[in-house]
Amino acid sequence: MSNSPRDFVVQATGVVKTFIDGDSRVEVLRGIDFFAEKGQSVAVLGASGSGKSTLLHLLGGLDKPSQGSIWIAGKAWSELNEKERSQHRNLHLGFIYQFHHLLPEFTALENVAMPLLIRRLPRAQALEAAQQCLEAVGLAHRIAHAPGELSGGERQRVAVARALVTQPSCILADEPTGNLDRENAANVFTLMLNLSRKNGTTLVMATHDDRLAVSADKIVQLVGGRVQTS
């Protein structure tokens, strides 16, 4: 990383990921080079099974590459032990998934505050930060509602607020609009782009929707386990 001429928030070099399926070896990623700068939005496009989710899992330190190196906010995952990886992930990364993964027994406000409570931030401070994030995604009037009382688009906006509440260096979003209708998908995607740009947060989003991807700063297409950049 020290030899890199630029300071990337996310950088992957020569990343290979191979899965063993019985007697077969399935090479999903084949020598991926990838980077994202501070505040940059990157859409990762590819057909189903192209390795988009695998790439995001590797970038997030949730899995290890078979070969290659990945840096997040200046540190290589391979140089950290499990405790350090967890701490680094909590400090620098926010995650958004296709399914919101909100906790049904908690309110929208409590769901958004959860990452800060895990950090052992005082409850009042965590709830205040969560409320500000819910206001930023247009849900100030829904903070006391449980996920089951929210629409699909609202639940995903709560998930966006939860990813932003820790003020991460980067948000990794895996098909975050894949479970929404076209209108809600466009609204949530635009919200994510606007908030990431406003906050200077890098956004890496895997999607199959090229109509949305064109709004990102950069498009990375996964083809045959390799990237094509536009």
Chain mean pLDDT for the chain: 85
Q: What is the pLDDT of residues 21-72, one digit of tens each?
A: 778 888 788 888 988 988 899 999 887 777 888 899 899 988 889 899 999 9
Rounded to whole angstroms, how far apart are CA atoms 204 and 172?
5
Name the fold adopted by 10-229: Rossmann fold (3.40.50)
Lowest mean pLDDT among 4-8, 21-25, 175-179: 4-8
Q: What is the pLDDT of residues 199-227, one digit of tens each?
A: 888 999 988 878 888 888 999 988 877 88
Whether residue 2 is predicted with pLDDT greater than 70 in this model: the reply is: no
Whether residue 1 is predicted with pLDDT greater than 60 in this model: the reply is: no
Tokens of 161: 């607020």
Q: Is 13 helix (H, G, I), strand (E, B) or coil?
A: strand
Q: Which one is predicted more confidently, 181 or 67?
A: 67
Lowest mean pLDDT among 32-41, 94-103, 157-166, 211-220: 94-103
Burial 24-50 (b: 16+ CB within 10 A, else e): eeeebbbebebbbeebbbbbbbbeeeb
What pTM did the predictor assign?
Answer: 0.85
pLDDT confidence of residue 230: 54
pLDDT confidence of residue 229: 60
Whether residue 175 is predicted with pLDDT greater than 60 in this model: the reply is: yes
Whether residue 5 is predicted with pLDDT greater than 70 in this model: the reply is: no
